[in-house]
Structure 1
Amino acid sequence: MPVREKTFVNHFAQLFGESPQSVWESPGRVNLIGDHTDYQGGFALPIAVPYSTWIAARLRPDEEIHVYSDYLHDQRVDLSLNAVSQLAKNKPLSGLLGFVVGVWDLLGVNTGANILLMSTLPVASGLSSSASLSLALLAALSDLTEHPYDAKTLIRLARQVENVYLGVESGILDPLAIVRGQRDCAIFVDALAEEGQPVAFHYAQAGKLLFIIDTRTPRTLAGSGYHERVKETQRAQDILGIPCLRFASAHDIDQLTDPVLQARTRHIVRENQRVQSTIAAAERGDWNQVNQLLWDSHQSLSRDFMVSTPVLDETVAWLQDMGVGARMTGAGFGGSVVALGDSDQYTAIESVLTRRYREQRWTLPRVLTVPRPADGLHKVL
């Protein structure tokens, strides 16, 4: 269910006895193409989605922090500034507590606050619920303390929350996409420059609809093969003697003798090319070519980078049989599939996937739709 501003503000007042001073919406993001390229300085093409984290906040006159959230099954966090200082010394942390401690410690906030968090983002499904939550907290707290940060600093701080306080080796892609998100645009991310530029992605005008299939197979970056892939690509860049695989070429792939490192590098080189080809195809309205690029990307992630799963592979194959462009999205090892189909295909897609998942005795998927790319992180009140 969507979060409504008035209802959300009223909920905060009921919980804490007064109205919030600051309300922000922080969307999730889905990556259309370009995965596992960001930590090697490459390209990606995400969009902000109309599923988001909402935060309402008000400073307290004391040093108490009280957070209520529907994130991960109605969590509450109640602690003091002194507890924040002590917990920050025992990194990495986990759960909502880790986000709260990380943000308070990074920003150096010297007062308490009352906070309400609500989310329409499915957790651990590849839509970047964690970066969305980090940015919501960072934006609201910096706003309340009258020290608002520029976009680039917010992006850097959100990455620090995950890397330093939660122990997750995530890249720049997620926070950058959420902060730079723009309606009706995809964001062409240059991870090496740590910047993103909006590019037109008007699939709605062509009668298309973007689908996100939450396969209900949660994954956790910290406990997955994500770290292993980071280390493998670092070994490849060291062998090739280049700053990052962004600069690798087809010739460089052939110079690697280890077949695993060769496959990992091949994915990154070709995926960077696919990102640029997708932008060009969308610009000329060649959605059939976009579909082919999505299918090619998935095969590369599955075979060369080996971050897919049987559930993701089968889901993409069933959608491909329907003529729907599809690929796994995000870090992999579970999560979601992103797909581009016709605007009238929702019922057919849901029906086919429901039947197929039942035949496999898998938990039924959740099919989300993105009628058009959404705005990025923004202040509501």
Structure 2
Amino acid sequence: MNNHKQNTTTNTTAGTTAPATAKVSPAAKNTLLILNCVLLSIGNCGGPLIMRLYFLHGGERVWLSSFLETAGWPVIILVLAVLYFDRRRKNTNTKTTFVYMRPRLFFAVAVIGILTGLDDYLYAYGVARLPVSTSSLIIASQLGFTAFFAYVLVKQKFTPYSVNAVVLLTVGAAVLALHTNGDRPEGESKKAYVMGFVMTVGASLLYGFVLPLIELTYNKAKQEITYTLVLEIQMVMCLFATIFCAVGMFINNDFKAIPVEATEFGLGETKYYVILCASALIWQCFFLGAIGVIFCASSLLSGIIIAVLLPVIEVLAVVFYKENFQAEKGVALVLSLWGFASYFYGEYKFAKKLKEKTRSSQQSMELGQAYISSV
């Protein structure tokens, strides 16, 4: 799907080095891409809703919410263990490697993990102060930041179709801005609302930087990028993000406050802990899907999927939290779907053109060989 990823390490026309990715059949890679798109969709839609549910019924711990965004990382250990034993079963004659990540890549991913932890806190702070529809609207600006940093960091090549997609999705977010007046939650001060707004913009900008940074890390890894390695990257990134947020929780005495908050939670103590666990798992789907899409395609596509799901989150907020649904949200939904279709049509055209070019080259080689043979 991505026009600058190759199966071997090469220099692109833009002057960047593409990562050495494992040889995977187009069908397998497309299946993997679809799977990661589904994971990203589940996390992107479910994460904000369940986080807001925590705050609506008495939850007040921002550091705890940010901690939960990456605390589900141990699940990846189980997946990596299954993959390891499967490799070990198939490769009986050779020594099976358990960890693929080299120290150079580990330290780079650790830094990205700390940035992700900071982004988690900024986002959780915004969700605590803003309605889901408003925070999602602000996060939509992330696509613009992703496109900018993708161009700066990885020299992302833009086609008329991808530019059209970015413009349509950005306009869709701007249309949603028309209904934000007067949506300040009842009983919340203007200062707290503004702080929530600013923090969410910061989260949008920072994650717009993190997505291309992950792609740049793939490009500069100097080792073969397999999906197993992608899972290791996800695990290390989330581990350091979780450690960062755990330090904040410790300083803020959140660990001591959890049992007290559970007993006072509006939906009951049992549902309080269910919400915490579900939040960790759903957000893990988001992060795993995001870096998986980057592996299969690009950081720009990951940003586009996040943006195109904005109206879906808006609709879900209306259904579950009775937030108002104005005509602007319907217009934004149409623009988002249009932008999404534009991007994939452009990718389809590129793939078709590449296929025709490859076929033409093969025919030229065959004709040349036939001529040499006849001579």
TM-score interval w.r.t. the shorter chain? Answer: under 0.3
Larger RCO of the pair (alpha carbons < 8 Å, separation 6+): 2
| Greater strand share, structure number | 1
Larger Rg belongs to: 2
